[in-house]
A and B are shown apart, each in its own frame.
Chain A
Amino acid sequence: MSALSTPVLEVADLAVSFDNSSGGPRIQAVNGVHMTLFPQQTLAVVGESGCGKSVTAMSTMQLIPRPPGRFDRGSILFEGRDICSLREEDMLSIRGGKIAMIFQEPMTSLNPVYTIGDQLMEAIFLHQQAGPDQARAIAIQAMKDVGIKKPEERLGMYPHQFSGGMRQRVMIAMALACRPKVLLADEPTTALDVTIQAQILELLRELQSTRDMGIMLITHNLGVVAENADVVCVMYAGRVVEYANVFELFDEPLHPYTRGLFRSIPMLRDVKHRLVTVRDVTNDAAEFRRLDGHVPWWPDMPEGTKPALAPGRDEHVLVEVRPNRWVGCWRTPELESRTHRRPSLDYRRTDR
């Protein structure tokens, strides 16, 4: 097994819940999520707002405030160690050093009262043995890597003197300055305009290929997924509903929700009075009968489609319905006897 075929991050059966501040039952943000990230791979996590994408990423960073958050079960293995069981001191060296994260809001994600250089070098001092001059050199190189011109000058500037796209570059430079193994990119381009989006994603791809870095790309933009992802993990309501490599998924989505997502994209050619919604698809009972022997899991099943469940177990199970295709299904008694391979796709697209 070469280094590239060893997963760098494995999320297994992760469940995270939060206190309900209005006194109701606990809110299950993530409920049995599996995913596997390999070096140099881009794993896109897709789903609508509130489906648990960000909670998964924040759990990986151990940035979920506890309380109100709580890890109910599962593990997050990074280089063979379970992050969930690490002490805070050990986590500090991983966070920002081995696993880095960039966020959605470049406009507010930088501290307004410190210079770009201060903030970049703060990360470098934390994770590398470097003197001030060395740290400065690393920071300048990091800024050059993300395509910021005149980095020496820019180091002394404040975030408000940068545009949104430039700030996101700084965020990426900051995240990558310590050469992390995993980059969690939580909707890194959502706040940016289309041109800058393309530049930033291009940049991430370039940097990924020069380092053995795995990227978990969290997005709800299917165009971004199609362009950038190797493997796609579709989530809904804290569950993984479909897991496949990007081409197979786009060619033939197996879960009704995924189909709903694709069909709801408006096409420029088509003139429609009304767009197809995800709900139109998931309300159609026929959609749930298209998988032989399995019923796709969905919290709000059309009448008469919900199968009998295995008693006493979690209702949801991620089934490898075809080789290297996983779909979230109801745990029927027939599935109960089978062992299920966890989703793991050591796949990288070759069309770049």
Chain B
Amino acid sequence: MVSYLARRLAFMVPTVLGITLMVFCLLAYAPGGIGAGLAVSGGQMSDTSKVAQMQAYLEDRYGLNDWVIVQYGRWLSRISPVKFGERDLRTPSGERVAPPRAIDDPPLAAAFPTPAVPVDAFEPAAGDDLVAQFKKLQRDAEGTRREYVGSVRLFRDALADWARAQGPAMAGRLDAKGSADPGRFEGVAIDPASPGYAKLRAAADAMHAKWVAARRAQALALAAFRAGPYPKSGIPLVPGLVSLDTPDLGVAFSKNRPVWDLIAAALPVTLLINLIAFPISYLIAVPTGVLASVRRGGWFDVLSGFLYLSLYSVPTVLAGVFAIGFLANRQYLGWFPVSGLHESGAEAFTFLPHADAAGTWHRGYLVDTLWHVALPVLCLVYGSFAVLSKQTRASMLDNFNADYVRTAKAKGVPRKDVVLRHVFRNSLLPLITMFVGIFPAMLAGSVVIERIFTVPGMGSLILEAIDLRDREIILANTFMIACVNLLALLLADILYAAADPRVSYE
């Protein structure tokens, strides 16, 4: 059993890698890229070069300029519990602080020689001031870097202008979008007497100035980082080279918050709704399926089949709109709230319902929450009966004609025990596979229902992330769902072994 588990878990690693690589490539090559969401949100920016600089900064910050496979490798190393290189720091609040990133040399060093960078001495502040000092240096490093990346972008624009001024031979080096990739101009002799040279030179000088500033700030920030304003994160295996640390899901592009925080906020909501919905659908669908199979062709069988299939045929969107329109709308019944998860000010509620001294009834946090999730749960549940109950019924009917059921009857086992002890017990086996499917579904949440009822769950989170091309959230979600799916399949196999003595992994 242990070796089987180890083997299964080992096989999961390549599967998860394959899944994430595929999703990563899809996202990386999807049209629009990270700027698509930005172009929409930054629509009012009049200066297009500002937008371009902003985009260049974001691309630099999230490392989107590199090859996809390099980006994927970087993502993997973040996800991996085994880390290479310098260890991160961890703030008392649990946030992870990575060392300030190195800065590449400016492009076209042959034509525009790189200036020397003066080395600043770092004076670590004493005690708690070190943190403040590090934070300031970190901010400086990020700010100067941002300006430098923007200036590189401007330099590239100037290079493109210059190339166009040189005539078709040089303009041919521009890429399809008409922008200049400095790599393509490596080794090109840039004549100071050529038309438009002055502008290019000025852009190069500005870039160099920003680069020197960025390098100096980065060196200081790194020195402050190494002075250790916070304790180091993780456990070293080979000091300075290999360490163990918790997986880092990264920072969401669109919200500038750690992905884990976003998931930690959304997951409990989805779990709450699903943990209420799944038991309800199982507790109703399985017994009715059993009953329908016992009285096959009887009125209950026909009626439940008809009812469940009718419910199954109603689209969730329609059901949600009807539920809001009839059950939540104050003009009609108005029994339930329209949206959200809590009443405003629910944080101040007591947990359980109670009546205060004046005899006024207070709902309490628990009832308030249940009251709010009632309609989403209803919409999640009503369609699930059909599949589950039909599956149970079919599985029961399969077993009713089995030889061992005939044996049980021939022993004189009463009908009720034949159904429950012999038929139902064997019918459980196919239901196990269906049962473990709920785990990934719980994690993914229901996009439609969460949208309709404005529930801030996983479905809403992922939908928003897709809208904004937020790769980190999508990847983190895909990664988690892939892991949970694989673990659920493993769980199914283990449950099978527990339920069916014929299955064994020894």
Contacts and interface: CB of A to CB of B under 8 A. Distances in A.
Interface of A: 61, 63, 88, 92-97, 100-101, 103, 105, 108-115, 122-123, 126-127, 158, 160, 171, 174-175
Contacts of B422: 111
Contact of A95 (B412, B426, B501, B502): B412
Main SS at interface, chain B: helix
Contacts of B65: none
Return the 6 tightest CB-CB contacts between A and B, nearest first: A96-B412, A96-B411, A95-B412, A108-B403, A111-B404, A158-B501
Contacts of A88: 415
B502 A112 contact: yes
A141 B406 CA distance: 24
A115 B502 CA distance: 11
Given A105-B403, A109-B403, A123 B502 contact: no
Given A111-B407, A122-B411, 20 more contacts: A61-B409, A97-B412, A100-B410, A103-B403, A103-B407, A105-B403, A108-B404, A109-B406, A111-B404, A111-B422, A112-B426, A112-B500, A112-B501, A113-B499, A115-B501, A122-B408, A126-B411, A126-B413, A127-B412, A158-B501
A127 B412 CA distance: 8
A112 B404 contact: yes
A113 B425 contact: yes
A18 to B, nearest CB: 15
Contacts of A171: 407
A256 to B, nearest CB: 35
A105 B401 CA distance: 13
Interface string B4-30: 000000000000000000000000000
Nearest to B423: A111
B187 interface: no
B367 interface: no
Contacts of A175: 410
Interface in B471-506: 499-502
A160 B402 contact: no
A123 B426 contact: no
20 contacts: A63-B410, A95-B410, A96-B410, A96-B412, A97-B412, A100-B410, A101-B410, A103-B410, A109-B406, A110-B404, A111-B425, A112-B500, A113-B499, A123-B411, A127-B412, A158-B502, A160-B501, A160-B502, A171-B407, A174-B407
Given A103-B403, A109-B403, A112-B426, A93 B410 contact: no
Contacts of B409: 61, 63, 95
Interface of B: 402-404, 406-415, 422, 425-426, 499-502
Contacts of A113: 425-426, 499-501
B505 to A, nearest CB: 15
B380 to A, nearest CB: 32
A122 B409 CA distance: 11
Contacts of B402: 108
Contact of A93 (B412, B425, B426): B412
A126 B412 CA distance: 7
A109 B407 CA distance: 6
B374 to A, nearest CB: 38
Contacts of A92: 412, 414
B301 to A, nearest CB: 15
B413 to A, nearest CB: 7
Contacts of B411: 95-96, 100, 122-123, 126, 174
Contact of B426 (A97, A111, A122): A111
Contacts of B406: 63, 103, 109
A123 B414 CA distance: 11
B329 to A, nearest CB: 50
A158 B404 CA distance: 13
Contact of A110 (B407, B414, B425, B500): B407
Nearest to B415: A88
Contacts of B412: 92-97, 123, 126-127
Nearest to A95: B412
A122 B407 CA distance: 12
Nearest to B417: A122
- Counting chain B CB atoms within 10 Å of each CB, which of A97, A112, A115 scores highest? A112
B335 to A, nearest CB: 45
Contacts of A158: 501-502
B291 to A, nearest CB: 18
Contacts of A174: 407, 411
A114 B422 CA distance: 9
Nearest to A157: B501
A135 to B, nearest CB: 13
Contact of A111 (B408, B410, B414): B408
B418 to A, nearest CB: 10
A350 B438 CA distance: 68
B404 A109 contact: yes
A171 B412 CA distance: 14
Contacts of A93: 412
Contacts of B404: 108-112
B407 to A, nearest CB: 5
Contacts of A126: 411-413
A124 to B, nearest CB: 10
Nearest to A96: B412
A333 B31 CA distance: 96
Nearest to A92: B412
A250 B422 CA distance: 43
B502 to A, nearest CB: 5
Nearest to A67: B297
Contacts of B425: 111, 113-114
Nearest to B426: A113
Contacts of A122: 408, 411, 413
A96 B414 CA distance: 11
Which has the most chain A C-beta neighbours within 10 Å: B409, B426, B500? Answer: B409
Contacts of B501: 112-113, 115, 158, 160
Residue of A95, A113, A174 with most chain B CB atoms under a 10 A cut-off: A113
Contacts of A100: 410-411
A127 B415 CA distance: 15
B497 to A, nearest CB: 12
Contacts of B407: 103, 109-111, 171, 174
Nearest to A63: B409
Nearest to A171: B407
Contacts of B415: 88
Contacts of A94: 412
Nearest to A124: B411
Contacts of A97: 412
A175 B412 CA distance: 11
